[in-house]
Amino acid sequence: MSSEKQKNIGGQMKVLRIDNQNCCEPIVFDNLEKLKEQLIDFHSIDYDNHFVEGEEYKSIKDFTLENILSWGDWSYEWITNEEAKQYE
């Protein structure tokens, strides 16, 4: 089992989305998959507008979590359920 999955055994931890450009408020997610889905949805609106001509096209829907974090300048951290309450 990956260390990321081990951190959330029993639902004791949440994922805090962090905007490294400080444009969006932090948001809490139950897991990394939900974070990835939200970021892909968020960026799907403008992704094709930023595609460089001649660059090999990769659908944003095929991005890994690390791809979308890097492309959109995001990061995340694991927080406890108690810490997550401050972002509700």
| pLDDT of 88 over the 90 cut | no
Q: Where are the domains of the chain?
A: 3-87
pLDDT at residue 6 in the model: 47
The pLDDT assigned to 22 comes to 96
Q: Which pLDDT tens digit goes with each residue over 28-72?
A: 999 999 999 999 999 998 887 776 777 788 889 999 999 999 999
* Alpha helix positions (H), the chain: 3-6, 32-44, 65-72, 81-84
What end-to-end distance do the CA atoms of the chain give, in Å? 30
Give the pLDDT of residue 47. Answer: 84
Q: Judge contact between 77 and 18, C-beta under 8 A.
A: yes
Residues 6+ apart with CB under 8 A from 53: none
Lowest mean pLDDT among 12-16, 44-48, 73-77: 44-48
What local confidence, expressed as pLDDT, does residue 8 receive?
59
pLDDT at residue number 25: 96
